[in-house]
Amino acid sequence: MDNVSNTISSGFNSFVDFLPTLLGAIALVLVAWVLAVLIRRGVKQGLKMAGFNRHLVKWGVAQNEEQANTTVESIGNVLYYLVWLLFLPAILGMLGLTAVAQPISNMFDTALSFIPTLIGAIFILVIGYFVAKFAKNLVYNLALSLNLDKWMSKLSGSSDTPDATPTASQKNTLAKVLANLVFVVILIPIATAALDVLGIESISRPVIGVLNSILAAIPNILVAVILLGIGIFLAKFIGQLLADLLRGTGMNSLTKYLNTNGKMNLDLAKLTGQVVSVVIGIFFLVEALNVLNLEVLNTIGGAIIAYLPLVISALVILGLGIIGGTLLGNFISTSTKSEFFGEAVKYILIIFSIFMALDQLQFATNIVNTAFMFIMGGIAVAFAIAFGIGGRDVAKRTLEKAGNKVEKESNKTSDSSNDFTPPTM
């Protein structure tokens, strides 16, 4: 009996000794619960009174006000459980559960020590965002005041001339493009500085490497854009100047010989100017690609420059074939009073020029040569069959007319020689 009573007495004494600790833990739980409820309710009411839900809809975070209210409720609940987590290590420590409370306490210590760094990074991002936003608005308004969109429209030859103040529906104006470019250029180094402040090397190091590569490429990109803009301006100016000069020399008068049937409306001066503009533009485009120092683009640019002489010579051959064939066909049609022979000669010369241009372009040379041989052989065989079988009588009459004409010419020559009287001395 003494042992039983001693055990009960010892347990009761232990309970009495532990009772203050238990009451303290219960009181701490009540304090945590009251504080968590008050914070949750206060945050919800405060955010709703401040109109935070309407701002969420305005910022595009929530689609409607109901969803915004749900977001506010979620923020309050997050803070509610965060208060419980803050009190949990103390409650567990008071109950003697240090093995469970220690990891939670260490987690909060790490998080609390990281908060100043996080706040510093957020502060840098916020300040940088406002600076970039200010620079963006400044560049946009400056571009509008200089009316860059109108000048760019004139430079590019567009028929649509934008107003000095574009509407909100004009999303791709030059002013907005420049403003957004300035915004991004300013925000990139600010984001790099914020990542450096956070000190998360596993994330910041590759991101900073990418950002540094972008920053290093921005000057080359700007130079390439400026070079391309100058090239477009020069190409358009020189092409227009050349077209006006050729038009002044009467080059377009050749079109009246090419347009005897009213089937062709060709401005040779304008076409020549446009070809020259394209060639100059291609040269500046290739140089702009070389400025970017990208191996793939450099290879493409070199291939374009190497192939350009072949394209120019092919265009010259094709143009001479079309113009020469048209002129010769019109001359034959006028001389022989036969439109068929004139059209046949014209299209034969055009076919010749097309195959010569394809051969100059080195476009499937074997196939082109074989096709040309088959086409010309077919045309020759068709003419031979038509002239030898179906046109035997026509050929006979044609040869007789030619023979009679030659005989008449020879008789006229002999008569004129017989009538000649030498001068008397």
pLDDT in tens, the chain (425 residues): 556 566 666 666 665 666 677 777 788 888 889 898 898 888 888 888 888 878 877 777 778 888 888 888 888 888 888 888 788 878 777 777 777 677 777 777 777 777 788 888 888 888 988 998 999 888 888 878 877 767 666 655 554 444 444 444 444 577 788 888 888 878 877 887 887 787 766 666 777 777 777 777 878 888 888 888 888 888 888 888 888 887 777 666 666 555 555 455 667 778 888 888 888 888 888 888 888 877 777 787 778 777 778 888 888 888 887 777 777 777 777 777 767 777 777 887 888 788 787 877 776 666 666 766 766 676 666 666 655 665 556 656 655 665 665 566 566 555 555 554 454 43
Q: Tell me, what's the pLDDT at 283?
A: 84
Encoded tokens for 284: 């500046």
Q: Tell me, what's the pLDDT at 162?
A: 46
Rg, the chain, Cα only? 45
Q: Tell me, what's the pLDDT at 255?
A: 62
Rounded Cα distance, 105 and 88, in Å = 9
Given a contact cutoff of 8 angstroms between Cβ atoms, the answer to whether 398 and 336 are in contact is no
Q: Tell me, what's the pLDDT at 110?
A: 76
Given a contact cutoff of 8 angstroms between Cβ atoms, the answer to whether 72 and 44 are in contact is yes
Which amino acid, one-letter code, is at 289?
L
Select from 305, 315, 245 the least CA-distant residue to 273.
245
Q: Tell me, what's the pLDDT at 7?
A: 67
Q: Tell me, what's the pLDDT at 371?
A: 67
Rounded Cα distance, 152 and 229, in Å = 10
Any alpha helices (H) in 199-267, and if so which ranges?
201-248, 255-258
Select from 299, 355, 347, 357 the least CA-distant residue to 324.
347
Q: Tell me, what's the pLDDT at 287?
A: 84
Q: Tell me, what's the pLDDT at 38?
A: 92
Rounded Cα distance, 98 and 104, in Å = 10
Q: Tell me, what's the pLDDT at 171?
A: 46
